[in-house]
Homo-oligomer: A and B are copies of this chain.
Amino acid sequence: MQNVLRVLEGRWKLIILFQLFGGQVRRFSDLERSIPGISQKMLIQQLRQLESDGVVGRIVHHQVPPKVEYHLTEWGQSLCPALDALLLWAENAPEEVRSSLILDVPSSET
């Protein structure tokens, strides 16, 4: 049990999983763009861990330029109900938590 929960540990794991929610197939650069604040290193690291834990699958298309796609495995898919419940829970969060103390305002140009 503890063992299994550790699969989800890591700052970006759940966020990544949400991106793959519902059977989506996403490219590396796609994920990178969709998750503000994540670095390539963290993205690849967490993906690799999820992959080796059997939650995420990885498909390499041998092309130029390279193209790699990620998706939920079957077991990963079975996480979706939990993800869904989590989403619902997060939406009901009190304001103090939502805004937290974390203010990252990436001033997008001018």
Contacts and interface: CB of A to CB of B under 8 A. Distances in A.
Interface stretch (A3-11, A20-28, A40-48, A58-66): A3-11
Decide if the interface of chain A is mainly helix, strand, loop or mixed.
helix
A92 interface: yes
- How many monomers of this chain does the complex have? 2
Contact of A5 (B1, B2, B5, B90): B90
A15 B8 CA distance: 12
Contacts of A98: 3-4
A97 B4 CA distance: 6
A4 B93 contact: yes
Interface string A48-83: 000001100000000000000000000100110110
Interface residues of A, number: 34
A23 to B, nearest CB: 16
A90 B54 contact: no
Contacts of A96: 54
